[in-house]
Amino acid sequence: MSLIQTKETLRSRLILLLILVAGLALRLHNLDRYSIFFDEVSTLLVSQGIVLEGANQKEAFASRELSDSRFWTTPAFPQQQVLRTFTANEIYTPKAFTPAEFWAPKSIQDYYEAMTRSDIGNSPFYYALLHPWIDIFGFSDFSIRFFSVIFSVLIIGLTYLFAKRFFGVNTALIAAGITAIEPFFIAYSHQARNYSLTFFLTLAATYFFLQIIEDKPGKGNKLWLYVGYVFTAGLGLLSHFLVIAVLLAHALYALFFLRTIKGWVRMAIAAVFTLSGVTWWLLFGGGVYTLSSLQHQAERYRYQAETGGKVFGDILPATPLNVFNKSLPIFTDLIIFTNGLTDALGGKKNVAVALLAALILIVWYRFKDKINTPAWLTPRFPYLLIIIAGLFYNNHKLQFSILSVSLFALSFIPDLHKNTTREHRARLLLLYIMALVPTLFLILMSFKNGHTYGIMQRYSGFSFPYVIILLSLLLQYYATLKHEFLVLIFVFLAAQLYFVGLRLKEFYEDRSPKYGYFAVPRVPNPYWEAAQKIKASYQPGDTIFYPAPRYEVLSEMDRTFLPYSIHDAQITNLYFPKDAQYVQVMDMDQSQRIWIKKQGQAEPLEIMKLTGKRYGFE
């Protein structure tokens, strides 16, 4: 491999600018077209110090009484008896409430409780940033998701800087381009969740880490590298606990390449500072119940896996076959060459033929010079092989062909590794480790916990930038191949980009369970629409009624303190003025409609029917 060129030109900067603009446009497209869902609702409420289902809003939604009577009546429900809820020695009965009561000032303990009950104490740094962002830009779906868009675009820029620093400008531009169109990054930029921020912080931490490892004596004070690492890695842990998998990958790499006592002492000190924030959080902050909550989750998911329940979707026992089937798409979707192929392709015979064709291609390339074949056949053999294999597929012929060629293309990783300098081999090893360790960590935890629930792409998404850089190096290496192999690879990779585009199209249409979680497109945010209708029609003396679906209280750690859900009321109140005095009550007689009882009118005014619109709650 030639010497790495890290000097930028006006041309390279213009190309980067175009990539960033394109990446931003892809992330802004349809950003607020579809409603928020369960995870985003949790994000919004927690960012305001509110527990989903109101465990720290008892004074707003209910009153305390010391009465032996188990039932109550109210003018709003003159013929109705409502079951009271007992918490410890307190009795709570529903009452009318207003947005002003909903928005009562919150203490730091309220924020801790919100994170503990609604997000197992995870992501305090993300919420600390999101809260002032919402104060400035509001609760609209666009604004809360745009916060994620910012960090997703920054990931494109940081991938460029990382690749330029360690692998050259050309690699950096290709890597930035792939990052810009990567469906995974685009999808999670459309969620008001911590993922884009966390991926950015871990990539920044690795950027500092590798410079620390490669630092040579006598090159000056590198304290800023350690400070940068401590802040990015430490804040990464406070954005998502699974960043620990990235730090384990760093530790593994250090075992190979950190060879001085002074270096180990410095990294040990940096590790102490890095872990200090999350340690304080788990011992004294809002994460004091995190470990017990994680243990409770693991036991509940394991029970569901063993009994075949589907409360949280399909959760399977952690057998080797189940773990393999769950993790295989995680690995293949990391690579844009093979993105989505495990989901689209089926049939044992088809897969066997595709794998055999890939194996023959690999063997032919390695040994073609030792095989006596006619001169006319040698350059045409790869194409004939793919065509002949295609005759055996009974579906998805082009995609099975892409699978064969993609496996052949990936077989050049050892050549890439061999044909470079010792320093660059060390950097390649970091890419391999960062590509594999996060998913291997999920697999290990799956076997430990006895279920497959945690094997998800978003939990190992830290790996994407490093795989993308590796692919960028491979794309340049293919230019050294003979014409027949070069054309074969790039033609089928171009075809694969077409299918990646189709997956993006499905995502933009909200028909992608893989990236958007929903197969049927969502409507625009029904709660925002309901709030606007209420603000336009409410008059003093009116009463707003919210549906009250039944809710089973299972333990003291549950989010609720009432036997029915109040989340419809909570979400709608997010979009009201904080000092509004709208009179609101929970309607125990139904579970689907928001409506207003207008003063002096017998007929109710229906605001919103929520059937099928509570995404993730139903």
**Cα 406–407–411 angle (5° rounding)?**
115
Region 538-559: mean pLDDT is: 79
Range of weakest confidence among 67-76, 182-191, 303-312, 401-410? 67-76
Q: What is the pLDDT of residue 220?
A: 62
What totals of helices (H) and strands (E) does the chain contain, helices first?
A: 25, 9
Residue type, 461: G
pLDDT at 124 over 90: yes
221 pLDDT band, cuts 50/70/90, is: low
Dig out the tokens for 332 from the structure: 């293949």
Percentage, residues of the chain above pLDDT 90: 74
Q: Which residues of 589-614 are buried (b: 16+ CB within 10 A; e: fewer)?
A: eebebbbbbbeeeeeebebbebeebb
Residues in the chain, overall count? 618
Q: What is the pLDDT of residue 301?
A: 84
Please, how many CA atoms are within 13 Å of residue 335, restricted to the half-sphere of its CB? 22
Dig out the tokens for 500 from the structure: 């990646």
Q: What is the pLDDT of residue 554?
A: 54
Percentage, residues of the chain above pLDDT 70: 92
Please, how many CA atoms are within 13 Å of residue 153, restricted to the half-sphere of its CB? 19
Q: What is the pLDDT of residue 557?
A: 52
Range of weakest confidence among 305-314, 411-420, 457-466? 305-314
Q: Which residues of 269-302 are buried (b: 16+ CB within 10 A; e: fewer)?
A: ebbeebbebbeebbeebbbebbeebbeebbebbb
Question: Could you tell me which residues come within 8 angstroms of residue 420 by beta carbon, excluding any fewer than 6 positions away?
Answer: 1, 428
Distance (Å, rounded) from C-alpha 442 to C-alpha 460? 8
**Torsion angle, alpha carbons of 15, 18, 24, 25, to 10:** -140
356 pLDDT band, cuts 50/70/90, is: very high
pLDDT at 412 over 60: yes
Distance (Å, rounded) from C-alpha 164 to C-alpha 176? 10
Distance (Å, rounded) from C-alpha 531 to C-alpha 576? 7
pLDDT at 69 over 50: no
Region 397-420: mean pLDDT is: 94
pLDDT at 359 over 90: yes
Dig out the tokens for 198 from the structure: 């966390």
Average pLDDT, the chain: 90
Pick the closest to residue 522 from 36, 31, 40 (CA basis): 36
pLDDT at 2 over 50: no
Q: What is the pLDDT of residue 294?
A: 81
- pLDDT tens-place string over residues 20-40: 999 999 999 999 999 999 999
308 pLDDT band, cuts 50/70/90, is: confident
Q: What string of DSSP letters covers 221-242?
A: --HHHHHHHHHHHHHHHTT-GG
Region 500-525: mean pLDDT is: 94
Q: What is the pLDDT of residue 374?
A: 85
Full-model pTM: 0.92
8 Å CB contact between 271 and 258: no
Sign of CA dihedral 121, 123, 126, 130: negative
Q: What is the pLDDT of residue 406?
A: 96
φ, ψ (nearest 5 deg) of residue 340: 80, -5
Range of weakest confidence among 9-13, 92-96, 114-118, 520-524? 92-96
8 Å CB contact between 97 and 61: yes
348 pLDDT band, cuts 50/70/90, is: confident
Region 453-472: mean pLDDT is: 96
Helix axes 223-237, 261-284, angle to 10 degrees: 30
Region 285-310: mean pLDDT is: 81
**Residues in a beta bridge with 72:** 82
Distance (Å, rounded) from C-alpha 553 to C-alpha 61? 16
Q: Which residue has the higher pLDDT, 307 or 578?
A: 578
Pick the closest to residue 165 from 382, 397, 384, 424 (CA basis): 424
φ, ψ (nearest 5 deg) of residue 67: -140, 145
pLDDT at 551 over 90: no
- pLDDT tens-place string over residues 75-85: 343 434 444 44
pLDDT at 284 over 60: yes
Distance (Å, rounded) from C-alpha 123 to C-alpha 132? 15
Q: What is the pLDDT of residue 77?
A: 39
8 Å CB contact between 474 and 416: yes
Q: What is the pLDDT of residue 343?
A: 78
Pairing of strands 543-547, 584-587: parallel
State the alpha helices, DSSP H only, in 345-421. Answer: 348-367, 381-390, 397-410, 413-418
8 Å CB contact between 92 and 58: yes
Is residue 364 helix, strand or coil? helix
